[in-house]
Amino acid sequence: MADKSVAAALNPKKSVPIMKWVTPVIIGWLVPGGGHIYQGRMQRGLLLGISTIVCFLFGLLMRGAFFEPQTGDLLTTLIYTGGNVANKMVGIPYFLATWLGYNQADLAGHVHDYGTKFLAGAGLLNVLSLVDTYEIATGQKD
């Protein structure tokens, strides 16, 4: 176990040029699954893209609300700001929905609450997809 840590310290990872990974990551953010498709991973890209879009559409159909940044105590600020970032991480579907006027008030009710979580979950799923895209582009993963 100690030999591996010593070997890792003696052989630091080489930095990967930013232009090698930035294009697929930006494409993957704007179009869920697009970064994988850009890299030639059609099945993985379609699976991740369709999963993210379906999750986002379920959130819209359940009339979930998009998170808006709020201030207050630390927990409120973290939840609402983090939720807002998660919503925006879906990429073009989020911007298209807001551009077309989707603006659901935060209503009480189980279905609306689940819809809000589906909308944020779609963004977090796309973040995982972006991490995978980055790791493939930098050669850390096949």
**Distant-in-sequence, close-in-space partners of 68: CB < 8 Å, separation ≥ 6:** 80, 84
Give domain limits for the chain.
20-137
Report pTM. Answer: 0.84
Does the structure show a pLDDT above 60 at 119? Answer: yes
Between CA 135 and CA 40, with CA 31 as vertex, the angle to 5 degrees is 50
C-alpha to C-alpha distance for 87 and 43, rounded to whole angstroms: 25
pLDDT band at 108, cuts 50/70/90?
Answer: confident
CB 56, CB 118: distance < 8 Å: yes
Q: How confident is the model at residue 9, as a pLDDT? A: 56
SS3 of residue 108 by DSSP:
coil
Quick one: CA dihedral 22, 25, 28, 30, positive or negative?
negative
Q: How confident is the model at residue 103, as a pLDDT? A: 85
